[in-house]
Amino acid sequence: MTMAGIFVNRLAVVGVGLIGGSLVRALRRAGAVGEVVGVDLDRENLLRAKQFGVVDRCAESLADGVGGADLVFVSVPVCAIPSVVRDLVPHLAPGTIVTDGGSVKGEIVAACEALMPPGAHFVGGHPIAGTEHSGVEASFATLYEGKRCIVTPTSRTDAAALETVVRIWEAVGSEVVLMDAEKHDRLVAAISHLPHMVAYALVNAVEGYDRLGEGVLQYSAGGFRDFTRIASSDPAMWRDIALMNREGVLEMMDHFAAYFATLRAMVAAGDADGLERFFRESKESRDAIL
């Protein structure tokens, strides 16, 4: 990795968990950031962030954290992002850039852009990288390396602010893709939100299957565990995503239900050719992305 040189003098991170903590670790590794101030509802998590050297200072309040920052990164659960941004706006220095890492973009970008006072700029972002773990202890410097980050400018986005946000994600090794926020939400509904809904439903369905008596899950092996890894993700985070990207998630759940119904019909009919074709097409698509 090449050293970027400091281009963010003071970074405020609101929500120093997996996503915020990993961004700071990666920016430090790239030599791109000066002082880092952390803000977090979870005081214990914030103190650990200081202990681990992720933040230089724990803010006493949102005002204390974001005042004087040239960049504010908001990485709290998606439903909280607009209200956090509303609360931090009065404390922004002129010229501050506010950006986020939330997994849903349409509602967040519209709300946060409208909240910006003259001279401050909002740019939405979403790193397509993560794990099923939460908190600063789960963060690591290489999370974003070789991954994509979707940045969602609008017709009102300040060009220099956009350039800085793109530079941040490139400095941590990501490939930046610029995309309209609504398109982003439809895309992630398909590649991320639907798989989480299916994984959560699958675990509950198998756990709730009691025709064989208790303890079905204890017999689960590699396949079940690989498939359902993401059902260990933070329930509050996924509650927020399902609520905020409701339309996109529902559209993909219906789309999936249609495919599942087709598969069920083939099993019911004993359609060997149909089943093999269905599985072959799926295998070819998956093999192609690996």
- Contact at 8 Å (CB) between 3 and 31? yes
- Smallest gap from Cβ 2 to ligand NAP, in A, equals 25
Q: For residue 226, count CB atoms less than 10 angstroms from its CB and return exposed for 0-12, middle for 13-18, buried for 19 or more.
A: exposed
Sign of CA dihedral 62, 23, 132, 189: positive
185 binds ligand NAP (CB under 6 A): no
- Smallest gap from Cβ 11 to ligand NAP, in A, equals 15
Residue 98 backbone zone (phi > 0: left; psi -120 to 50: alpha; other: beta): beta
Q: Binding mask 105-144 vs ligand NAP (x if CB under 6 A, - otherwise)?
A: ---------------------xx--xx--xx---------
Q: Decide whether 20 or 106 has the Cβ nearer to ligand NAP.
A: 20
**Rounded to whole angstroms, how far apart are CA atoms 277 and 272?**
9
Q: Residue 255 corresponds to which tokens in the numbers above?
A: 């789309």
Q: Residue 67's closest CA among 96, 47, 41, 40?
A: 96
Tell me the window of 34-42, 65-73, 257-265, 270-278 that interacts with ligand NAP (CB under 6 A): 34-42
Binder of ligand NAP out of 10, 12, 13, 17 (CB under 6 A): 17
Helix or strand holding residue 267 (H, E): helix 246-269
Query: What's the order of all strands across the beta sheet hosting 33-39?
Result: 57-58, 33-39, 8-14, 71-74, 97-100, 121-128, 148-152, 175-178
15 binds ligand NAP (CB under 6 A): yes
- Contact at 8 Å (CB) between 137 and 15? no
Q: Binding mask 72-91 vs ligand NAP (x if CB under 6 A, - otherwise)?
A: ---xxxx-x---x-------
103 binds ligand NAP (CB under 6 A): yes
Binder of ligand NAP out of 7, 31, 35, 42 (CB under 6 A): 42
Tell me the window of 1-9, 14-22, 111-119, 157-165 that interacts with ligand NAP (CB under 6 A): 14-22
242 binds ligand NAP (CB under 6 A): no
- The residues binding ligand NAP (CB under 6 A) are 14-15, 17-20, 39-42, 45, 75-78, 80, 84, 101-103, 126-127, 130-131, 134-135, 234, 237, 241
